[in-house]
Structure 1
Amino acid sequence: MNLPNAITLGRIALTPLIAWLPFTTSWTARLIAFLLFTIAAVTDYWDGHLARSRNLVTDLGRLLDPLADKLLLVATLIPMYWLQRHYTLLVPDGTMPQPTPLLFQTPFGAVSLPLWIVLVVLGREAFMTVFRQVAARRGLVISAIGPAKWKTTFQSLWLGAAYFWFFAATLAAREGWEGDSAWKAFAYFNGFVGVTSMIGALVLTVWSLWLYLRRYGKQVARLA
């Protein structure tokens, strides 16, 4: 067990907390969820860089790293979909629930996470996992391409903005900041980051899949 693999295992261990904490109505718990997500996203890059730069790449690492990525994506997308579509906040005095989906706020209205985007993103990841395994069994290694790496970056910005918003909106509801102009400006900025990175991640999700199929699809079929 080397250091990069230990870091990857740590990311996997954090995943259940990242998935569960946003479902509480505590702004501190949601803040912790955002911080844990940030740590997981940063170490996702760091452990891979560390393994390559120090020649610590192992078969275990090749197995654990994509597993950790997929688990983190599922553990963030599902809470995000649920919280932005169905969940509630407590009103500032904490005495009764008030239906308040935690939507991204923009000058053009609130924006939630549609189910079809969740299905496209998770479906693409499931397909590429199977596609890579089939190719590997036939002796073809499919490496990550540039658009796929950018897709991961945009996903991290999108999910990070959502997780930060869960914490910030909960705290604002407790403190009664919703009518403050500075708060609205911040809400719009966060919403802009969240929505634009969501669109960017979606475009790159589809585009990178098409590039993979164009580059490797015929090779995999030919090796069958």
Structure 2
Amino acid sequence: MPWLNLPNAITLGRIALAVLLAPMLLADGFGIRLAAFIVFLIAAFSDLVDGKLARSRNLITDFGKLVDPLADKLLLAATFFTFYYLSHGGEPRTPFPWFGGTLPWWILAIIFGRELFITLFRSYAARRGVVIPAGAAGKLKAVFQNIATGAIIFWYALWSAQRENGWNTPFWNGVWVPFHRWFAIASLTIAVVLTVWSLAIYLNSFRTLDLQRKAAR
């Protein structure tokens, strides 16, 4: 099985971790949600490892090219759709770290709309003979998406701990909650902006490469 190598095994492991994340996040308990936070960190860092291994060891396969972006999207879906459910009645005792205490639908529309559009547009570009490499804006977008996701998972874990331990101190109410909330808001806002910006850069790269291809004929 030429597709079965270490980078692809790591990618398949990330898919398994993504499947585990949603039910772990739905369980209202500090221990299980702290475990979910650790699972997410492992999954997020594995995305850096498998790509570097595949390139450095010349283990790039068609299977890896197909499954690696699928694993990334599955991890994104497992967390953000769960956040949306929790913030819209799934767990009313924990306010979502965003204005109004819920995750807006338009954030999901931007994040997943971009992913769907890029997937379809990449196929269109390939049919025209244009291959667009991953850019710095797209990689930075993924970094801030992971930062925001990790911050939100940890937010839910700490609110579970607050209920279990009855935290009602000035530090919790006046320092930690506002700091954590605004950190999550800032990182999620940057992620959304970079999502739109990276799409614009991607389309501009396609336009430039397509013009170069036509000029070279």
TM over 0.5: yes
Q: Which residue number corresponds to residue 92 of structure 1?
A: none
Q: 2:199 aligns with which of 188, 206, 209?
A: 209
- Give the 5 Å matches for 1:1-224: 1-88=4-91, 99-104=92-97, 111-177=101-167, 179-184=168-173, 185-217=175-207
CA distance in 1, matches of 2:64, 2:10: 10
List runs of 5+ in structure 1 lacking aligned partners.
89-98
Q: Give the structure with the higher percent strand.
A: 1
Greater shift after overlay, 70-79 or 29-38?
29-38
Cα deviation, 1:168-207, whole Å, max 9, x if unaligned, reads 1111111110x21222322222212211010000100001
Deviation at 1:219, TM superposition (A): 5.3
Percent identity over paired residues: 45
Deviation at 1:85, TM superposition (A): 2.5
Letter in 2 for 1:43: S
Please give the TM-score of this superposition, normalised by the length of structure 2: 0.89
Structure 1 pair 187/112, CA: closer, same or farther in 2 (3 Å)? same
Q: Number of aligned pairs?
A: 209
CA distance in 2, matches of 1:102, 1:136: 44
Deviation at 1:218, TM superposition (A): 6.8
Deviation at 1:26, TM superposition (A): 2.2
Please give the TM-score of this superposition, normalised by the length of structure 1: 0.86
Cα deviation, 1:105-161, whole Å, max 9, x if unaligned, reads 8xxx76432111111110000100111122223332221111111000000000110
SS of corresponding position for 1:86 = helix
